[in-house]
Amino acid sequence: MNSDSDLQIAGDILEVPHLLQPAREHPATVAEFVGLARAIAADRSQWEHLVEYDATSRWYHRLKTGPGYEVWLLSWVPGQGSGMHGHGRSSGVLTVLEGELTEHTARGARALDEGAQRVFAPGYVHEVVNDSLQPAVSLHVYHPGLTEMPMHAAQCAAATADGVAEDVVTA
């Protein structure tokens, strides 16, 4: 008898299909959206051949959509930034695929190295910048799909973003 639990499973659990939850085709929870971003990041064949760099404006490409969500691929040459912005009613997962980005919020700046993930809720305001000397690539998952990206003046961001941030998830 296992001292940690009184539960023991006899036989083959796979023979009891009514106890197993079917695998979801699309993510529905924060953890599943983080997992989707990690899976795409790990499979470079899904995105590496699509990346372009544009010195005059930020480059982006919608990589995937699903019911209520979308996945975007962005590239950042040195010095490029997003400006201080929000995401309307969308939550998001930002994953750095290559290089390094810096996220600025009302609480300060945070370096995001390759593999770092940032999860945020609706109402979160930030600016993402490539402060390094090398290009960077990032993946962004939005749920629901991004319908607005309101820009904010830096001095207004402190009142808007304070208390809404989530933590960085590292790979």
pLDDT in tens, 10-32: 666 666 666 666 667 788 888 99
In the CATH scheme, what architecture does the domain 23-169 have?
Answer: Sandwich (2.60)
| Annotated binding-site ranges | 85, 87, 126
Exposed, middle or buried by CB within 10 Å (0-12, 13-18, 19+), for 148? exposed
pTM over 0.95: no
| Annotated binding-site ranges for Fe cation | 85, 87, 126
User: What residue ranges of the chain have pLDDT lower than 70?
Assistant: 1-23, 147-150, 154-171
Domain boundaries, the chain: 23-169
**Residue 23: predicted pLDDT:** 66
